[in-house]
Chains A and B, each alone.
Chain A
Amino acid sequence: MEQEVRSRKALEWDLGESPVRELNNYLHHGLAEDGVEEVRVLKPDGAHHIAVGLDAPVKVEVMGNAGYYVGGMNKRAEITVHGSAGWSVAENIMSGVVRIEGYVSECAGASGHGGLVVIEKDASSRCGISMKGNDIVVGGDVGHFSAFMAQKGHLVVCGDAGDGLGDSLYEAVIYVRGRIKSLGADAQEEPMTEEDHATLADLLGRAGFDHDPGEFKRVASARKLYHWNSEHDQEY
């Protein structure tokens, strides 16, 4: 580890000098020994896999754009990308927070089990696909097939949603402030309850948005695909 330790607790890591593999190895095994609580990653230049598989209460600031899988399988860490990111941001996130200040490509927050993913601008298609308990807040729009087969957790879309929103949803709930181009199979719009207002207010607050929860629509599963039934037109 040839990086300069700015103080006892903060560290700057220049990816131009030491590649992602070394960074991740350090984040997995070196942090505790050095007592480092914050890592600033310089010159990310769209590298893939930055800060994946973390399991420590560390702050990671990525000072630029990240590639695929930034914050993948995160536990406990708070990761912020001061830029945009590629596919599958924070896939399979378990806990902690992954925040992208810019835009993200496809499958943001896919299959996450917990924790919070914040996308400040737009997310491309399949945002929140297969989510299993994580929360995702998108400041802008989401692309088609977002929350496909989403099982649990919340997807908050402050802008518009593309085609096929919430197709084959299980128990995850989607809140959309803007226009929904179309709903997917078995997804339906439902009235907002008081509980929805409270959940949404909390998520918006944690994500740093001050929209009025009253402006959002709730989308959830109609639960018609839960059981095989030949009387339903089911494209299994």
Chain B
Amino acid sequence: MTDKANGEVTQGETRGETRDLTHALPENDAVTHGGQESHLYNRDVQAWVRKAANRGIYDIRGMGAKRKVPHFDDLVFLTASASRYPLEGYRERCDTRTVLGARNAKRPLELDTPITIAGMSFGSLSANVKEALGRGASAVGTSTTTGDGGMTDEERRSSKMLVYQCLPSRYGFNPDDLRRADAVEVVIGQGAKPGGGGMLLGQKISERVASMRTLPAGIDQRSASRHPDWTGPDDLTIKIEELREITDWEIPVYVKIGATRVENDVKLAVKAGADVVVVDGMQGGTAATQDVYIEHAGIPTLAAVVQANAALEELDVKGEVQLVVSGGIRTGADVAKAIALGADAVSIGQAVLLALGCNDHVWYKDGKTPVSAVKDYEELGTKPGMCHHMQTGRCPVGITTQDPELEKRVDPEWGAKRVRNYLQVLNMEVATLARACGKSDVHHLEREDLVALTIESAAMAKVPLAGTDWIPGVTGF
């Protein structure tokens, strides 16, 4: 919460404050002040209610779920020892090559790493950032993804492999860009807002963004939540076929879902003909949506990957249809655990923004000299480390903005290097863990390599609680 959490806010003030209802305040003043703070109606809740009463409109913000939910941190690897032997950490080969979309496409994506960059729109991100992502990803042999604003020439030029999203809004969607894409991703939902459409508030609708989206500049724009030309899985089958016909069956078709009824949705996506299913858990980020969606809709990524994998196993399409998992993937350990639970690859959004300086207290002038951004965070009513204000378009470090001055805060060359470095570290970490588990290919990581530290994560991941052979819901009670 920010220091505006006392509810003394007025209409028209910076939008996008959020509240944290998941923890009570640390101190209780019962003794000194003759009262007692309610757990249910703690001061955060009280402030939120006053704010709602004051504003009459709900909170809109960026990033993903901030509440604590079971995650990959709750799992650890049983690396090799006497019963299995490890590979030499530095010398022995451990393959990270990842092929996506060979099921029906003539030209599947051949990546050097299982780590890809998730869809983020031009409009929410600046052109410089899009370019940095493309160049950074290309340097490590992976793909980037367009977003809810169409494809820009900058990102096409800078991305060796570019996945073109087909979203409900269809902003800027056109056959020329479709034909120059390396894959197309039909987005049904997003982990941050499954069942909801995106938003882009007026301050980010610059002339260029407006013209790409065919909208008046400066309006508060709400993207549709359903596709305009199909509804339901049977129609999706036909839609996917149409995309294949238009692209002469050359490029893979991904289907992306927000993690809710994952088993059913994955099965329907596979039946509809998807080459790749992308499952985005509730921690997945967004540039702007209602806070109530971000924190209260969808299931954690950990649970989602397990259910998605079960669906693929049941349909007997493992190896034929690839699973890409996103939503809170931050480290090589997260990647390795996702793969061990059944993912073929992951995609990353928020963490690459962090790599570019999101939430840092400084930005780097010309990619070199650090300049404090603390005042700019303060102007948004927040501080470094706490920010989720992309909806304002006033990103203190110049990432999620269309402001010509602010966007200069990310130098594309500097940014490309940061993204490359970050992805490289993740890839090295995955391979390190895989070697330690005795695998010569990161995709050989398996569920048996994992145990859980908590009962919840054991139940969700369907792996034993560490030191026991107990898998809640599977073995015993």
Contact = CB atoms under 8 A, between A and B. Distances in A.
Interface string A138-151: 00000000001101
B15 interface: yes
Nearest to B58: A236
Nearest to A48: B238
A48 B244 CA distance: 12
Interface in B248-262: 248-249
A129 interface: yes
A87 interface: yes
B3 interface: no
Contacts of A126: 228
Interface string B217-237: 001101010001110000100
Contact of A228 (B220, B224, B248): B220
A88 B11 CA distance: 43
A87 B245 contact: no
A68 B242 contact: yes
A230 B55 contact: yes
Nearest to B15: A228
A85 interface: no
Interface stretch (B110-118, B171-179, B305-313): B171-179
A80 interface: no
B218 to A, nearest CB: 8
B56 to A, nearest CB: 3
Nearest to A153: B214
Contacts of A52: 242, 245-246
B82 interface: no
A72 interface: yes
- How many interface residues does chain B have, given as a range? 35 or more
B465 to A, nearest CB: 43
Contacts of B385: none
Contacts of A181: none
A89 to B, nearest CB: 10
A130 B169 contact: yes
A75 B242 contact: no
Interface stretch (A58-66, A107-115, A154-162, A189-197): A107-115
Contact of A130 (B11, B228, B238, B247): B228
Nearest to B171: A132
Given A133-B214, A227-B220, A69 B242 contact: yes
- How many interface residues does chain A have, given as a range? 35 or more
Contacts of B230: 87-88, 107
A228 B215 contact: no
B241 interface: yes
A229 B175 CA distance: 36
B241 A227 contact: no
A20 B242 CA distance: 11
Given A53-B247, A226-B220, A48 B242 contact: yes
Interface in B116-171: 169-171
Given A20-B245, A49-B241, A113-B174, A88 B229 contact: yes
A55 B175 contact: yes
Contacts of A69: 229, 238-239, 242
B170 A73 contact: no
B78 to A, nearest CB: 48
Contacts of B89: none
Contact of A25 (B57, B179, B238, B248): B248
Contacts of B242: 48-49, 52, 68-69, 72, 91
Interface in A63-113: 67-69, 72-73, 75, 87-88, 91-92, 94, 107, 110-111, 113
Interface in A200-229: 226-229
Contacts of A14: none
Interface of A: 20-21, 24-25, 28-29, 48-49, 52-53, 55, 67-69, 72-73, 75, 87-88, 91-92, 94, 107, 110-111, 113, 126, 129-130, 132-133, 148-149, 151-152, 168, 170-171, 226-231, 236
10 contacts: A49-B242, A53-B178, A68-B235, A69-B238, A69-B242, A107-B228, A130-B170, A130-B224, A151-B215, A230-B56
Q: Which 3 A-B pairs have the closest CB atoms?
A: A230-B56, A53-B246, A88-B229
Interface of B: 11, 15, 55-57, 169-171, 173-175, 178-179, 201-202, 213-216, 219-220, 222, 224, 228-230, 235, 238-239, 241-242, 245-249, 290
